[in-house]
Amino acid sequence: SAVISQKPSRDICQRGTSLTIQCQVDSQVTMMFWYRQQPGQSLTLIATANQGSEATYESGFVIDKFPISRPNLTFSTLTVSNMSPEDSSIYLCSAPRQGASEAFFGQGTRLTVV
């Protein structure tokens, strides 16, 4: 299975600030995905991070709020900007191993905005 590491694992942030979450994969992957899981809810896809091009955002998510970087084939960051308490969620990155069907996930970043 792929090893996906996320940092930080949790954080408590003040409203109005920004947090950048890092995701590192142990092998090169074409696509990486960022999901949000709000309290008591299931996972919702935020965007697809493609190396060498802009991220593709799902309906309801915009680049100004969730800027994404993908500098190489093993790394991506998601920034949650100008945070409000409604942004309190678990954020997860996901990546499929090249040529595999299975999706693997990082351990998640638990964000609390106060």
Partner 1 sequence: KQEVTQIPAALSVPEGENLVLNCSFTDSAIYNLQWFRQDPGKGLTSLLLIQSSQREQTSGRLNASLDKSSGRSTLYIAASQPGDSATYLCAVRRASGTYKYIFGTGTRLKVLA
Q: By CB under 8 A, name the binding residues for partner 1.
A: 1, 6, 10, 31, 33, 41-45, 48, 90, 92, 94, 96, 101-108, 110
Secondary structure class of 109 (helix, strand, coil) = strand
E strand map for the chain: 4-7, 10-13, 19-25, 31-37, 43-50, 56-57, 68-72, 75-80, 89-96, 103-105, 109-113
First to last CA, the chain: 36
Going by their DSSP bridges, the two strands 10-13 and 109-113 should be labelled as parallel
Nearer to partner 1, 41 or 82 (CB): 41
Minimum CB separation of residue 43 from partner 1 in Å reads 4
Nearer to partner 1, 13 or 43 (CB): 43
Nearer to partner 1, 27 or 82 (CB): 27
Minimum CB separation of residue 85 from partner 1 in Å reads 18
Minimum CB separation of residue 53 from partner 1 in Å reads 15
